[in-house]
Amino acid sequence: MKNTPPKLRSRMITFFLIAALSNAVIAGSPRLCDEASEIDNYDTDFLDNFITLKEGEESWLFRNTDLKTEFGPGKRGYQRLHYLNKLLKQHGTQLMIVPIPTRGIIETNQLGDIAYDTKQGQQAYENYLASLRKIGIAVPKLENLYKKIHNKPLFFARDHHWTSYGAKEVAKLTARKIKQQDFYKDTSKQEFETNKVGQLVMVGSHQKAAEEICKIQYENEMIDEYTTENISELDLFGDIAEPEVVLVGTSNSNAKLNFNFSGYLMQYSKLDILNLAKSGGGYDGAILDYLKSEDFKANPPKLLIWEIPSYYSLNSKSFYKKMVRLLKQNDRDNNKKKSMEVVSR
């Protein structure tokens, strides 16, 4: 550049500085645009899930459901949940609900200038857990998650899922609750080992929404990926027992990106767990599919773990009607089968 005319040299330097700054914004910390605060800009089925994005610290993004101050169903919803739990117990199945706390009450240090009363949110969440326990549903002590200091984030900065570390921490608390159940002491235990197998690249859902509205680009997030293996000395020629614990839930428990929740559950509980969670099925898809299945009809589990994000209210009357109808149909089918067996003797 030594022989370049001064004016041209100045322009070239300016050009390279602008380019460098632009790249820094793309790779570093792009700013959420003003358009993200306007509800009218969330005008597709996808964007409708992210009303409205807000910017926290270090490019963390939050949406309204991350910042809830009310949790759980209304009075009638709790009554329906109580009845559902009662019907499951008649099948010999204890219901455990794992309501994943919202990102706002966990990642409080990342909220920045977002106006959110974390104490109110945490208290409402604790009231929700207490209400579930009051009607006889087993619930892990998930409130302990924000009562200890974590050296890693439990959630992604720009996605609605938990990280592998978040899945691990919730699994530890869930396993403790599993061990308190009556059936646990009489169940054969196995040994599991968890190992790192690679890395996951997360192009977050909040990130996609922000990029679409604001025409900006964020760095993708990366975390370690883990899998869990059974290392017990199993009898390969013996009868394989049906798992006595079944997990149903969302993409947090079973998705293309493996956060290893079921693996950690097996490691810490020392139980084989059948993972029937369903990606993209909402709060109800996996549990409805399972109750329809021949597996449930023939071998109801001792424990049914239902993992759900706590931003779902569980107020839907039609959902409970479907659940009750399925359980009562199972009873009728089983009674009919027993009557036929008696007649055939």
In sequence order, which ranges of the chain are alpha helices (DSSP H)? Answer: 6-27, 75-90, 103-106, 118-134, 164-179, 205-214, 261-269, 285-292, 294-298, 317-344
Asked whether the beta carbons of 153 and 167 are under 8 A apart, the reply is no
Asked whether the beta carbons of 292 and 333 are under 8 A apart, the reply is no
Q: Which two tokens stand for residue 29?
A: 């910390």
* Residue 159 annotated in active site: yes
Catalytic residue among 59, 251, 253, 262: 251
Catalytic residue among 161, 206, 253, 269: 161
* Residue 91 annotated in active site: no
Pairing verdict, β 61-62 and 273-275: unpaired
Query: How far is residue 198's CA from residue 76's CA, in Å, rounded to a whole number?
Result: 46
Catalytic residue among 66, 159, 272, 284: 159
Sign for the CA dihedral angle at 328, 334, 340, 343 comes to: negative
* Residue 206 annotated in active site: no
Q: Which helix (H) or strand (E) holds 197?
A: strand 192-202
Query: How far is residue 73's CA from residue 77's CA, in Å, rounded to a whole number?
Result: 5
Angle at 262 between CA 257 and CA 266, to 5 degrees: 145
List 303's β-bridge partners, or say none.
94, 245
Helices 317-344/285-292 angle, 10° precision: 10
Sign for the CA dihedral angle at 6, 7, 10, 11 comes to: negative
Q: Which two tokens stand for residue 335?
A: 């009674």
Query: How far is residue 86's CA from residue 245's CA, in Å, rounded to a whole number?
Result: 18
Q: Which two tokens stand for residue 50?
A: 């992210």
Query: How far is residue 72's CA from residue 312's CA, in Å, rounded to a whole number?
Result: 7
Catalytic residues: 159, 161, 251
